[in-house]
Amino acid sequence: MKKLFCLKIILPALLLSQVGCKSLTGGPPKWLANPKSAYPEDRFLVAVGAGDTRRAAENAAAGNLARIFEAHIESDERLLDQTRETTTSFERTTDFTADISILSSQTLYNIQHAEAWKDKKGRYHAVAYFDRRQTASIYRGKIDELTARVDFYIAQAGSTDPLKKYAALRAANRHAEESRYLLGQLKIIHSPSASAAAPNYNLNELRTALADAARQINVQISIAGDTERRMTACLVELITGYGFVIGQPAVLEIDGRVEITDTGERTRGMVFVRYELALRIKEAGGNIVASVGDKGREAHRSLEQARIRSFRTMENTIQANGGQRLDAYFDSLVDQQ
């Protein structure tokens, strides 16, 4: 009896269930030397793995199957324009059989296990496979869903508000990129289905539209106390990373203050300073849409080095939290489907 299971990759480890999988002893099964003899290539995509335990063998088989996609996807990626907006990994709880995350950005669905075999040395061998047509149907459903979302956000991008226009195109691009990954996988699983599932939008045109919309967003930065302009430089890097332009008339404004003061404390040759960072991101009308703040103490053997350490801490805060706050803001500007 074949087994359907759920799994995720956590670092290199696969977490697999073993319930209901047929285990064989005796002579080697024919799939060990030639998997395609037992799982015809026109119907299945198959890989074999080995390990000291049955779970390890299933992990290895699933990993070997995943490498087929990894090799194809990495090869395709080298041919693509790398200016696309990166996104978080596409993760979803489903009713389907298996999810494998690859390289933190790939998800494979519907991996199945059917058989395992233990050799005379006690080593286990297992099969992992896709039923091509069954899996293609699952992928078609997911891609159709993503295409509907892209169309939905493209319609929202007709807004005359530059921030809402950018937010809608950003959402459309995010779902289009997810669809592109799934289409790449579907081409390997069942190429005819991939051709039929191709979306009606042009991904390169979507990317260009997003970049054009970003260039319409001018941002003004004003940080009190930033005499060395280190916080300003950090914010400029953050903002231009979105494709926005530093200038006026401002569509977004970032203001705030930075302060580093000598506490007067000297302990064991260490000089202590107190730092505080307070930033606000506002729409042109003054509406505050996000804030970033941090405060604390740093110490070093000299006042200057303690100040430098404080600057680095605040820069890390901006890098870690600034993008998250902006992302959440832009997500809030679009209707969710």
Per-position b or e across 3-19, b if 16+ CB within 10 A of its CB: bbbbbebeeeebebeee
User: Per CATH, is 3-131 categorized as 3.30.530.20?
Assistant: no
Token digits for 67?
A: 């490498």
pLDDT at 88: 33
CA distance linking residue 122 with residue 92, whole number of Å: 37
Q: Can you identify the CATH homologous superfamily of domain 218-332?
A: Lipoprotein like domain (3.30.160.150)
* Phi then psi dihedrals of residue 243, to 5 deg: 90, 5
**Every domain of the chain and the residues it spans:** 3-131, 136-213, 218-332
pLDDT at 6: 34
Contacts of 329 (CB under 8 A, 6+ apart): 281, 289, 290
Give 219's strand partners: 246, 252
Per-position b or e across 133-172, b if 16+ CB within 10 A of its CB: ebbbebbbebbeebbebbebbbebbebeebbbbbbbbbbb
pLDDT at 71: 62
pLDDT means per 10 residues in the chain (337 residues)? Answer: 36 33 71 94 96 93 88 46 34 30 58 92 95 97 97 96 98 96 95 95 97 98 97 98 97 98 96 98 96 98 97 97 97 86
Regarding pTM above 0.85, the answer is no
